[in-house]
Amino acid sequence: MRILFLDQSGKSGGAELCLIDIAKPYKDSCLVGLFADGDFRKKLEQNQIPVQVLNTQTIKVSKESSLLQGLKSLSQLIPLILKVAQIARKYDLIYANTQKALVIGALASFFTRRPLVYHLHDILSPEHFSSTNRHLAVFLANHFASLVIANSQASKTAFIAAGGNGKITEVVYNGFDCNKYHIQHSEVKKLRQNLGTKSQFIIGHFSRLAPWKGQHILIEALANCPENVTAILVGDALFGEQDYVQQLHQQVETLKLSKRVKFLGFRDDIPQLMAACDLVTHTSTAAEPFGRVIVEAMLSQKPVIAAKAGGAMELIEHGVNGFLSTPENPQELAEIIINCCQNREKTLEIAHHACTTASQRFDVNNINQQIAKLLFTLKK
């Protein structure tokens, strides 16, 4: 099957990392079209997946954009739509991996009569999208998509609640290459030494630095934890959120935690860093559509505390394969962290159980088979 994948971003977010795994089996007959250049293109090339940057100008529409702002971007979109439509004629179907890709892909699908697949990586809620963008996504998916793949039941439920067609929507969780998370003990030991945290209890937080990702919640919780508990924040601002980064640094200074919080910025060695942690936290203040970092922590055999909302609640059963904490409740988070510190043996048992179940549930080969079956039905 020849597939034209579309993605709006040049940066490697969760949706983009997911796309790499989905596109790999089709790398001899697919093309990934990007609407911006960046490190994501390089990662696709490293995986020998054909890629082409289709746009040289940033599309000036965001999740918060109004109808007027969207209309002003038409002069940018029309040439891109025509270009995608021309390329799409060489492929069997169009696979839109993001919302901007859905806009372009839907119109290209209309012009070329190629079936459209929309991979929904978002919860279509007011916390994440403007009313205009929610209605546009639902309208385009309902009228142009042959299949909507939601990355969690939470994403599917929100899509249907917003008016989406549940009959064409299937839930397929993200897939992971489990072997990536088997890290040698010697490598972990060396990394902890390099971090200067050899004998400390390390909490890892892995995501871009943004208010809704809730790094400030972890920092506040850390102030109520024992002195030997430290945190590493892996990630940086992506979408003009530098003010928040400054707020985090100021919060660390105010709480006198400068020796216990390390800002590591963007890193490519996520599996290694997770292996060096004693605990991984997920502190989003709004419902997460899936929670990629949660599964990565499980596969790394690390206990994980996740915000009790959205897709995270489909991944974790509290006290069985991880822990759930009320969003925006640093006191509760601190209590769970302390409990993990004081009950290491039980906590490790939970982490080992989580690794076993996650390896079966989210194996990339099984996930790709699920997607392949769904795509095959579109050829009939």
Model pLDDT for residues 196-236, shown as the tens digit of each residue: 877 899 999 999 999 999 999 999 999 999 999 999 999 99
Mean residue pLDDT across the chain: 92
What ranges make up the beta strands (E) of 201-251? 201-206, 229-234
Fold for the domain defined by 3-175+363-377: Rossmann fold (3.40.50)
* CATH architecture, range 178-361: 3-Layer(aba) Sandwich (3.40)
Q: Record the tokens describing residue 151, joined without a space.
A: 């990355």
**Closest-CA residue to 101 (of 1, 16, 207):** 16
> Which pLDDT tens digit goes with each residue over 342-364?
999 999 999 999 999 999 999 99
pLDDT at 345: 95
pLDDT at 270: 94
Percentage of the chain exceeding pLDDT 90: 85
pLDDT band at 72 (very low <50, low <70, confident <90, very high): low
Q: Name the strand (E) or helix (H) holding 377.
A: helix 364-377
**What is the rounded distance in angstroms from the CA atom of residue 233 to the CA atom of residue 228?**
16
List own/partner pairs for 242-249 with CB under 8 A and 24 or more apart. 244/209, 244/210, 244/211, 245/209, 247/216, 248/209, 248/215, 248/216, 248/219
Which residue ranges does the chain devote to CATH 3.40.50.2000?
3-175+363-377, 178-361
Mean pLDDT of 267-291: 95
pTM over 0.85: yes
